[in-house]
Amino acid sequence: MFKNEAGEHKFSFTRFMSNAVPNLAGAPQDTELSTHEADLVFTNQLGENDPRILAPDAFLHAGITSAPKVSASIHKALLSNGVLSKNSPTVNTTAISRNFAHQLPNITSHAQKKLINFLFFWEEELQRWKMLMGERDELDVLIDTEKESSGDIGIYEKRLVEVQGAIRLKPSLRSEQAARAERLPNYE
């Protein structure tokens, strides 16, 4: 069952088959967010006024759907269910309940699983941004106090540039950087 634009309940056999028996309906089996999709969402969000608040087309870039209207309807459903907030950069994953599949009937069960994985990824991204922005604010205060006392601010300015770069660093580049930084011992 779904609601059409007039608000009437309709039955779609195709949607029923997609959600009830996803293997027969030809739904995509990949429920993990690829690094390419994470990069696409990240770069798209950087173009927004507040990049921490998910845009309606974020689900399109995440590979959850290929239709902009469906992406907008997913965004609207997540706002109405309390998972996302319109003016706050938060992802409330505790609002994902047993009825999540019924709250988003216009996408397949595999797309719903990918959506949940994407929401958890974005929640982690928000935590990372919060930490980096807090460090940036601390460095701004340190630089201002050192300027007043005519102290050396070179170290703080260098770190500030590093933090600003880390804020804009794509997820795929971060994982390569982390892999290079963490070298496992070689056993010969």
Residue 188 lies in a domain: no
The CA distance from 178 to 134, in Å, is 21
Residue 18 lies in a domain: yes
Please compute the mean of the pLDDT values over residues 73-89 and round it to a whole number.
91
pTM passes above 0.95: no
What pLDDT was estimated at residue 25?
47
Helical ranges in the chain per DSSP H: 13-20, 35-46, 58-61, 68-81, 100-103, 109-148, 154-167, 171-181
Q: How many domains does the chain have?
A: 1
What pLDDT was estimated at residue 115?
93
Please compute the mean of the pLDDT values over residues 67-83 and round it to a whole number.
92
What pLDDT was estimated at residue 183?
52
Compute φ and ψ for 54, nearest 5 degrees. Answer: -65, 130
- Identify the domain containing residue 137 by its residue range: 2-181
Is the model's pLDDT at 88 over the cut of 90?
A: no
Residue predicted with more confidence, 40 or 106? 40
Residue 134 lies in a domain: yes
Question: Which pair of tokens denotes residue 73?
Answer: 């309807």
Residue predicted with more confidence, 7 or 179? 7
Task: Write out pLDDT tens, residues 8-52.
Answer: 888 878 777 766 765 544 545 678 888 899 999 999 999 999 999
Task: Write out pLDDT tens, residues 126-175.
Answer: 999 999 999 999 999 999 988 888 778 888 899 999 999 988 888 888 76
Question: Which pair of tokens denotes residue 71?
Answer: 């992406």
Pairing of the two strands 2-3 and 9-10: antiparallel
Residue 186 lies in a domain: no
As a whole number of Å, the end-to-end CA separation of the chain is 62
